[in-house]
Structure formats: structure tokens, C-alpha cells
Amino acid sequence: MSKNQLPDPNRDFPAWYIEVVKRAGMAEHSLAKGTMVAKPYGYGMWERVQRALDDRFKLTGHENLYFPLFFPESLLSKEAEHVEGFSPELAIITHGGGVELEEPLVVRPTSEALIWSTYANWIQSYRDLPLLYNQWGNVVRWELRTRLFLRTSEFLWQEGHTAHATAEEAHREALQMLEVYKEVAEEVLAIPVIAGRKSESEKFAGAATTFTIEGLMRDGRALQCGTSHFLGQNFAKAYDVTFLGSDGERRHVWGTSWGASWRLIGGVVMTHGDERGLRIPPKIAPVQVVIIPIYRSDEERSAVLEVAHKIRDSLTGQGLRVRVDDRDHHRPGFKFSEWELKGVPVRIEIGPKDVAAHQVVLVRRAGGAKEQVATSAAVDGMAGELERAQQDLYDDALEYRNAHTHTASTYDELRDGITATGGLWVGPWCGRGTCEERVTADTKATIRTLPLTPEDPGAPCAVCGQKGAETATWARAY
């Protein structure tokens, strides 16, 4: 492999992923172990994911607020299950201002403890409900094995926390927000996902039910792209959050929480990338169109750049994100490779002969097609080009997922299939934790999803052969 060549994703996917993220200028490792610097190109993608999610949150009636990064450690002791789920990952502050604190402070791994203790003060009557709030911020989880965007000790995310008068309303809320995540994943990020429930062992600590969307990456591993939790009354009881109903009875409220993080950016890289680097869905691409002027002399440079800038201005006027790469210290071939690595959806090449013929060369990153097009047609049709590029990436990812989704009716099929080929493996499951643990011990795969509504698989468990209770989707995962 040459110095500038990317690792082969078919042979060393983890090395390929890290090199793509770094070379594309998305992120790099920072000084503290497990932390990262999100560079403008990568952060620009996250900004557009934020916007897509936040717009939908507000359309569904939610408001943004912000809670502190620190809270007293004693808050966690009120929810023993919550502590058990997060204690290995907690970062605890014991000193501040040069002195030992009277009570250690937790750096939030998630905000249920702080938010529900606060909701106890905000909720008195049914008239105060529902509370529909979301928070954008950062959290800290002391991860042992980290990877840029996918799993870092500190990461950016959003976390919604809602309170309701009835279980039915809270359950609808959790499913509604799962649908929001699914819509953003598929329509904005072009990642086809499966929506479902988590098994008891895989659900969020403190939740009654955890709903999830799962995508399949190009190495055959699954990625959890967002979760929505029906909390039942667990946190309301832990922090004594009650309300006076219209019937005069006092009862505990019902809750949800839901979150997605910048691991979605890692999901984009791993879903759409190829041997040449990124392929970015146009809806989140920091640069949707790059124009590469080609010239040999100052005279040619002036004529070509004049047209290139006119094309840029016309496309920018359509609301598109366009860059003219007029760097003289790099040759056109270098620029072609660099912007391919960065995954820009459409490249326009224009030289003196193109200027004279009123045409450009259009190069599509998703399919690699290259053709000469009249300049006016390229400008007028660019919005359509980007729509097709968005759809092409989704269709390609869906085709990959379908080709790597398998069924298993026996344990040999399930175990050997996961071990040999990876991908998603679907089969009946009895619902017992012992069978779930057996598969994980033998293959390192976990149940990624169960159907949103439980249904009889109509076949015996693929693991033990006893009566099936659920249809489970298994995979190794990030």
C-alpha cells in the first residue's frame, strides 16, 4: 500500500475508518485519552444533523432547555438500577478550587437523575403536564475502548426528557420520537434502519422498554443509531415526582427519555464510504458541489475562474453549498482525489475548452459517472442531481443490508452464520436470557432488535428448540 493510499476496507475496516475520518479533516484524537477534536468538516455534518433533529423536535411540540453538567453523587443513589447501569463509566469530581468537596460531583453520563429531581419541583397538578423538553449538550462516559465519533469519553448529543399523566401518552411519545429518529436516519443520512425493541438485557438501565433504530455498516456490524425509552414510573418513583389528578387523586407521573449522538456521523462514514473515502449524503454535506478550474496560463486562469465563479454564484443562489477550489499550489489530479476522499456529492471540472464550448464535466461521487453537460443544464439541474445522489446512497445501503440479512432456524445456522459472514441474522427466540447469553458467548453477537409489537414467530427457538416467543435480529455491533 502506498503512503497516500487508504487501507482496504474489505481487509481492515477499522484502519480504513480511522484514516478516512482523519484524512477527510473530520476529527482527530485530542490530548486526554478517549477524547477527540471535531474539526470543521466533521462538525459541519453534525450541525446539519442537529438542525434536522431539532426542527422535528419542535414540530412535535418540544422545547429546548439546559441543565448543568455536574450534579451531586447522592442523586444517583435514589435509583439503584440507574447507578448499576452507569457506575463503571462515571467520572467523579472530588476536588474543586484546591480543596476536597463536601460531596463528590458526577459529570453527567445522562441527565435523568438531575432532571427528574427537578421535575419534582415543577409538577404539582395534571395542569402542569405534559412536560416536553429536550437538551443539547455533552456527556462523559469513561469508555475503555474508544473510536472517533463512535465511542469517545466525551461526546455531543441530545437527550429528550418528558413527563406525562398516563402510561398510554408516555408510550405514544416514546414511539413518536423513535419515528423521528428513523425519519432523520433514512431521509437525511440515507441510512436504512430497523426499528424495534431491545431485549431485557440490552435495554437502558431504568427503562421499562427501550426502543431502538439499528443500521448495518459495511463491515457487517450493526450500529445503534438512536434510542427512545418508555421509563414507566421508575424515575418518578425514585425522585417522588407526583401530580394531583383531575379526580383529586395523587399519583406518580409517567416518563420517557430519548437520545441520539454524533455517532450518527460515524454511521454515515461506515454506511456509505468506499475504497476512495467518504460518500456524503447531500443533505448533510458541508460542500455539496465543488468546482475544479483547470488552466495552464494566467490568461486561461482568468477566463476559467470567471465562469467558475458565475456557476458558483448561480448555485449558491439556489441555496446550495458550493466551493471553488482555486488553489494554485495543487494540481487538478490532487484536487480530484482530495474531494473524492471528502465525499463531495458532485464535482464540476471546467477548463478553457469547456469555457469555449459552454459546457462542464460533471462527476458524480455516488456512482462515479462522468459526463459533459451544457453549463446552463448543469446549473439548472443541480438540485435534481443532488436529490438523485441522496436517493442513490440510500438505495445502495438498502441493497447491501438486504443482501446481508439472513434467516436461521437452528443454532448451527445462527452461530456459524454470524461467525462466518456477519450481517443481520433473524430467527425465532424463546425469550430466555440463557439462550441470549449463549449466542453472545459463542459469537459476540447480541439481539439488536425485537419487533415493536411482540408476535409469535410460529417456530421453535433457533437456540434451544423450545417454543418461540419472539423473532429476534442478531448481529455483532459497535
Nearest to 279 by CA among 345, 222, 338, 354: 345
Where are the chain's structural domains? 13-272, 289-386, 407-475
Burial 369-379 (b: 16+ CB within 10 A, else e): eeeebebeebb
* Beta-ladder partners of 213: 195, 226
For residue 228, report the phi and psi dihedrals to the nearest 5 degrees.
Answer: -135, 130
Q: What percent helix, strand, coil does the chain show, rounded to 5?
A: 40, 30, 35
In this structure, the chain runs to a length of 478
Q: Judge whether 347 and 292 are in contact, CB under 8 Å.
A: yes
**Cβ burial 165-185 (10 Å sphere, 16+ → b, else e):** beeeebbebbbebbebbbebb
Quick one: which H or E segment has residue 29?
Answer: strand 27-29
Q: Given the C-alpha cell 440479512, which residue does it identify? A: 405
Q: Residue 216: which of 460, 36, 473 has the closest Cα?
A: 473
pLDDT in tens, 181-195: 999 999 999 999 999
Give the domain 407-475 fold.
Answer: Translation Initiation Factor IF3 (3.30.110)
Q: How far apart are CA 444 and CA 222, in angstroms?
A: 12
Per-residue pLDDT of 208-235, as tens digits, reads 999 999 999 999 999 999 999 999 999 9
Cell representation of residue 339: 474531494
CA 92, CA 114: separation in Å to the nearest integer? 15
pLDDT tens per residue across span 229-261 = 999 999 999 999 999 999 999 999 999 999 999
Element (H, E) at 19: helix 13-23
Distance between CA 165 and CA 32 in Å, rounded?
44
The per-residue pLDDT for range 139-170, each reduced to its tens digit, is 999 888 899 999 999 999 999 999 999 999 99
Q: pLDDT tens-digit profile of 40-65?
A: 999 999 999 999 999 999 999 999 99
Which pLDDT value is given to residue 83?
A: 54
Residues forming a β-bridge with 305: none
Residue 345: pLDDT over 60: yes
Torsion angle, alpha carbons of 331, 332, 333, 334, to 10: 60
Q: From CA 414, how far away is CA 419, in angstroms rounded? A: 9
Write the CB contacts of 248 (distance below 8 Å, at least 6 apart in sequence).
none
Q: What average pLDDT does the segment 344-359 reach? A: 98
Give the confidence band of 86 by pLDDT, cuts at 50, 70, 90: low
Which CATH number does 289-386 carry? 3.40.50.800
Residue 77 has what pLDDT? 81
Q: If you average pLDDT over every residue of the chain, what do you get?
A: 96
CATH superfamily of 13-272: Bira Bifunctional Protein; Domain 2 (3.30.930.10)
All cell numbers assigned to 319: 441555496
For residue 139, give the nearest of 161, 181, 105, 111 by alpha carbon.
111
Residue 143's pLDDT is what? 84
Residue 342 · residue 278 · CB < 8 Å: yes
Tell me which DSSP letter residue 114 carries: H
- Residue 81 confidence (pLDDT) above 70: no
pLDDT of residue 82: 63
Q: How far is CA 285 from CA 42, 188, 388, in A?
A: 9, 10, 14
Average pLDDT score over residue span 1-30:
92
pLDDT, residue 102, reads 96
Long-range contacts at 419-426 (CB < 8 A, ≥ 24 apart): 419/443, 421/220, 422/219, 422/220, 422/221, 422/475, 422/476, 423/216, 423/220, 423/475, 424/194, 424/216, 424/222, 424/448, 424/473, 424/474, 424/475, 425/473, 425/474, 425/475, 426/471, 426/472, 426/473, 426/474
Best CA proximity match to 157, nearest among 177, 139, 132:
139
Classify 84 in phi/psi space as left (phi over 0), alpha (psi -120 to 50) or beta. alpha
Confidence band for 198, pLDDT divided at 50, 70 and 90: very high
Query: If pLDDT is split at 50, 70 and 90, which confidence band does 2 have?
Result: low
pTM: 0.96
For residue 123, pLDDT beyond 80? yes
Confidence of residue 421 (pLDDT cuts 50, 70, 90): very high
pLDDT of res. 309: 98
Strands (E), 167-305: 193-197, 209-216, 222-232, 242-244, 250-252, 254-261, 289-293
Residue 311: CB partners within 8 Å, gap ≥ 6?
291, 322, 348, 350, 360, 375, 378, 379
Beta bridge partners of 36: 29
Summarised one tens digit per residue, pLDDT across range 295-312 is: 999 999 999 999 999 999
Q: If you average pLDDT over residues 81-108, what whole number do you get?
A: 86
Q: Which of 257, 255, 254, 252 is nearest to 241 (CA)?
A: 252
